[in-house]
Amino acid sequence: MTLLEINNLSKHFRSGGRDVTALDDVSLTLDPGQTLGLAGASGSGKSTLARIVMRLLPPDGGSIRFAGEDWLALSGKDLRRRRAKIQMVFQDVLGAFNPRATVASVLDDPLRIHEIVPKSDRPRKIAELLDRVGLQANLADRSIRDVSGGQRQRIAIARAIATDPALIVLDEAVSALDVSIRGKVLELLVELQRERDIAYLFVSHDLAVLRAVSHRITVMDGGRLVETGPARQVIDNPQSTAARALVSAVPRLRIQTPQGHSYEP
Amino acid sequence: MSTLCEIRDLSVTYHDQPNPAVGHVTLDIEAGGRLAIIGESGSGKSTLARTLAGLLPPRTRVTGEIQWTGGTPPRPGRDLGFVFQDPSSSLNPVLTIGEQVAEGARQHLGLGWKQALARTQEMLERVRIAQADRMLRAFPHQLSGGQRQRVAIAAALAAKPKILIADEATSALDVVVQAEIVALLDDLVRDAQMTLIFITHDIALASGFADRVAIFKDGRLVEAGPTASVLAAPAQGYTRTLLQSHLDLTSPPLVEEAAT
Ligand SMILES: Nc1ncnc2c1ncn2[C@@H]1O[C@H](COP(=O)(O)OP(=O)(O)OP(=O)(O)O)[C@@H](O)[C@H]1O
Ligand SMILES: Nc1ncnc2c1ncn2[C@@H]1O[C@H](COP(=O)(O)OP(=O)(O)OP(=O)(O)O)[C@@H](O)[C@H]1O
Ligand SMILES: [Mg+2]
Ligand SMILES: [Mg+2]
């Protein structure tokens, strides 16, 4: 069964003399336990799509079905109850947290609001969540501002998995992580996916990351989806101009030998 | 090349923290060079950057020495531009894009508002913001993540600083725009003798343009030197691990392929 089905979504922004078509007739589907990688130039509409799926922004037109229901028609208590099932890791992690929050309170909120575990069990659950994303439990009492950028990204991921969601929208969720930790977080996400059949809509500018975790990849350009296919096909043999430009601009590791010869390992 | 600053046995401990975030770092930064700082999450890269810029929170304990050639530390905003890792820390949510970028140019280059706005538009174009003239009146929340990052870069560069510290400043940009921004920074280093301190987790990106790299782990400087020699013949196991964990388009996927 399809978990997420998006049909003909459109969104326009008009403000301060600017007139932007952020989404233009976007349709896609995502099955449980699958990852759809979403790539595209800066400003092409990826976060707008993510925010509409999260119901943080209304579309101008189009429809979304989530778990068999008309997702855009839900409101009030029904929406609040189902919200636990879709989580998001935002691109601007710091901006997405209450600046006065501590690490513990960031993780405590979803556990409390969605009644995931009884109160007495929450500290244990928080420590467990931190551990899963490779962070030490002693960070719990720190202010969310007083941790490093990569630590904050991992806290956001821990918050997203706290409610046992069916879908997580990840918007540049691993972009500030160094290679070793990023590798671990990606492995964790894939492991959680296998364990709990979570689907990911994975937005990233990093094609190597998308290639590693996606079943399919879709490429956006100027608000439109211009190419969709199995991950390998889109990366190895891109068809659209947008996808080709992205693939060819990926920085290659250049190692110069002392004689001045350069090679790419 | 002359030295811009000499860091000697620098340790930085945040208020109420048992352990230093940066410990015993000794490093020379060359004037007019491109230094890439690479290392693990939480290893102290941003802390070192904030220390150089004089932007540490109150009650942080700093020991050791930072000697600036010329004696006085650079003034943030004027001599030194800083792009923060989180764009929301670089931009003021209640100012328009035009106001934030023009402010630096107006204050430090002594321009009037009109000239400052012209300089702003030029800078926005240089960081590849489309419809730059219309962007002047937009607010940060109306921009995409990558657009915000580019505005933060434009704001940091508007006052023509002699030093730019870019903390993961291109991490949310698509690779095409990222390459253009790196080329812009490269031009500024070459033509305006700017010193670039570039913090990144992307070792491939650094390998393409940094003259020198400094590798951090657990608050320590693991090794530093010319990019070519550090990457071709890493002296430390951690640097080798970093090179090996580099993910590229040919790395084996973690999930099974979808059927065609
Ligand atoms: N204001 C603060 N108060 C207390 N501890 C802090 C503060 N800022 C950072 N730290 C801690 O200092 C250490 C170094 O952080 P720093 O931000 O310098 O790391 P980083 O190398 O930039 O990491 P990242 O790649 O994740 O951004 C981390 O353990 C972090 O939790
Ligand atoms: N609230 C808003 N008001 C006006 N314009 C907006 C608003 N939000 C987004 N936009 C514009 O819509 C377009 C798409 O933005 P979006 O954030 O979806 O891009 P993106 O693909 O996520 O880019 P990036 O890779 O830079 O994060 C951009 O041109 C942006 O400036
Ligand atoms: Mg975005
Ligand atoms: Mg940092």
pLDDT in tens, A14-55: 987 788 999 999 999 999 999 999 999 999 999 999 999 999
Which residues have their alpha-adjacent CB atom under 5 A from ion ligand 3?
A 47, 91; B 144-145
Q: Which pair of tokens denotes residue B204?
A: 């491939």
* Residue at B100 is within a domain: yes
Pair of tokens at residue B176? 């095409």
State the total domains in chain B.
1
Give the long-range contacts of residues A13-16, CB within 8 A, separation 24 or more.
Answer: A13/B142, A15/B138, A15/B142, A16/B96, A16/B134, A16/B137, A16/B138, A16/B139, A16/B142
Question: Distance between CA atoms of B142 and A145, rounded to whole angstroms?
Answer: 24
A200: left (phi over 0), alpha (psi -120 to 50) or beta: beta
Q: What is the pLDDT of residue B258?
A: 59
The pLDDT of residue A182: 86
Is residue B88 domain-resident?
A: no
Examine residue B129 and state whether it is found in any structural domain, yes or no.
Answer: yes
What number is the ipTM of this complex? 0.89
Q: Which atom of ligand 1 is nearest to the CA of B201?
A: 25
Q: Is the pTM of this model over 0.90?
A: yes
From ligand 4's centre to the CA of A150, what distance in Å?
Answer: 7
> Which residue in A171, A232, A240 sits closest to B249, CA to CA?
A232
Q: Residue B173: what are its φ and ψ, rounded to 5°?
A: -105, 145
Q: Whose CA is nearest to atom 28 of ligand 1?
A: B42
| Residue B14 within any structural domain of the chain | no
Q: Is residue B176 part of a domain?
A: no
Q: What is the pLDDT of residue B190?
A: 93
Residue numbers of chain A with a pLDDT score lower than 50 = none
* Interchain contact, B176 vs A249, CB within 8 Å: yes
Contacts A259 to B, Cβ<8 Å: none
Look at residue B16 and tell me if it is in a domain: no
The whole-number pLDDT of residue A262 equals 60
Do B67 and B6 meet the contact criterion of CB atoms below 8 Å apart?
yes
The parent domain of residue B148 ranges over 93-160
**pLDDT at res. B244:** 87
CB B64 within 8 A of CB B8: yes
Give dist(CA A88, CA B115) in Å, integer. 42
| B120 C-beta neighbours (distance < 10 Å), count | 30
For chain B of 260 residues, list the mean pLDDT of each consecutive stretch of 10.
93 95 97 95 94 95 94 92 85 92 90 92 93 91 93 94 95 91 94 95 92 96 95 92 85 74
* In B57-194, beta strands by DSSP E: 61-68, 80-83, 163-167
Structural domain contains residue B182: no
Q: Which atom of ligand 1 is nearest to the CA of B43?
A: 21
Q: Scanning the structure block, which residue is given the tokens 């977080």?
A: A185
Residue B70 is predicted with a pLDDT of 83
pLDDT at B44: 96
Which residues contact residue B118 at a Cβ distance below 8 angstroms, ignoring those fewer than 6 apart? none
List residues, by chain if needed, whose CB lies under 5 Å from ion ligand 4.
A 148-149; B 46, 85
Q: Specify if B69 maps to a domain.
A: no
